[in-house]
Structure 1
């Protein structure tokens, strides 16, 4: 069976064969449907993109009505039970779950990037004591590009991977510092002996103790929460960038 859509333009009587790919047609294929040579061509009208797909994804599949969430084909229940956040992040980025050696190397690489430049901390200290933590967080993440000018090399695959690792590693540090700034508390540096999530709790809540020991139940619950929110199929900011081209 041919995977095409036959359209008859009743204005002109002409017929058009439009290819169907992945259960969709390309909107630009409708441009050829014209009433005359000066006609711009047929356009689609879809407010709020209610029935418009703007990419083909092999990363995440979500069906809220059926309660299905797949990362690279793996059910979220399986990942939440058997994986941790960094292993899931590796899966999303590479398409496959890591071997033990790959996972250890990946975790070490992320851990080594968790520290923040001292000037980043000074930048955050410049916010008012009552500044909203989210405002501090967003501004600081944006400011990272001034500390890492190589982030502009968006067409370099290795550079993109480096920025990805930096963001995964530094976002918990920035978030924790933003929270502690709002509480009037000193910043706590990362503890490389803790897990990714355990270290985040350490930077959030450590007080005067010499060594912070995260509650294992809270640590695991937060890690599962990170897994559940690791990818949204296509979040608002990604959709905005794809829409404007």
Structure 2
């Protein structure tokens, strides 16, 4: 019994270690947000320093071998996708960046794209470190249109009805049989894909609370004083995680 308990604890520690290594880029972003909030860096505005830190971090991850060139390509794609969404949302008044910066495009600091890129970085790193495999992955003709519809809904719901709950139902239907196989050491584990979406979406919502607390961006109801991010935002982050996972998974399968 003691050996079994000890083995489970070792597996949990291994899993935590692999997850920690996969989260290096997001952790650096959060630490940078905290540092620049309480310590004023010279010569440049805060958002510009955040951009420099993110670029240097990406360079170091590539040079050190922590990140591969293929993963950098995926992360760059997510940076562009995220930046396009940021420009639209900020100009629609969904949230704002209250501070000034030289590296701004239509009111959006360029470092913001790295927040989306950090999600892709985590997915790519965890995929490789945990040797992720997919079981009963749906056909291309279902996955790509669904991912595109989820992403487009972030834009069109400002002008038309919000169909996020319909899309969430479609995700459950399309991926009902899909599971993720991953390894911790030599042991393989299995998790239902929809459950993994929910767990990742929740933790990103927690991360969003941390980010808004450190002034990464501000929602309209946080302009006077910081408050907990509306739990309804968790559904948005859940859908964003789904889009991110679908893009990464499809690129992995195409390359394979």
TM-score (norm 1): 0.26
- Indicate the structure with greater helix content: 2
RCO higher in structure (CA 8 A, sep ≥6): 2
TM-score (norm 2): 0.25
